[in-house]
Amino acid sequence: AQSVTQPDIHITVSEGASLELRCNYSYGATPYLFWYVQSPGQGLQLLLKYFSGDTLVQGIKGFEAEFKRSQSSFNLRKPSVHWGDAAEYFCAVVPDTDKLIFGTGTRLQVFP
């Protein structure tokens, strides 16, 4: 079945540590790929997106993501996490232009 998987429900890191949030998808062709962030009490905000071209994508707030076709993955990374990054992160996939499928989200907690 077509799906978007974020295997980590909850991740805790120390401030200043590096971060990687995982996202895998199961669609036949390469879909459009997105990462959104939802801060407490807020709506979702786009961090970055991948349509084609360079598989390493830079986003806002110091985030980047790498598309790996062979692994059907689009993992989000940040070299040094700040306490303000505590939020819920959603991977989303557009398998065709008429659908946007969100993963179940990963809640990030940051300790000082």
Partner 1 sequence: DSGVTQTPKHLITATGQRVTLRCSPRSGDLSVYWYQQSLDQGLQFLIQYYNGEERAKGNILERFSAQQFPDLHSELNLSSLELGDSALYFCASSVGPDYTGELFFGEGSRLTVL
Binding site for partner 1 (CB under 8 A): 32, 36, 41-46, 49, 51, 90, 94, 97-100, 102-105
The pair of structure tokens assigned to 88 is 């819920």
Q: What is the closest distance, in whole angstroms, from the C-beta atom of residue 98 to partner 1 in the complex? A: 6
Q: What is the closest distance, in whole angstroms, from the C-beta atom of residue 46 to partner 1 in the complex? A: 5
Q: What is the closest distance, in whole angstroms, from the C-beta atom of residue 44 to partner 1 in the complex? A: 4
Q: Tell me, what DSSP letter sits at residue 109?
A: E
- Using CA atoms of 38, 41, 42, 48 in order, give the dihedral in degrees to the nearest 10: -10
- Which 3 state secondary structure label does DSSP give 70? helix
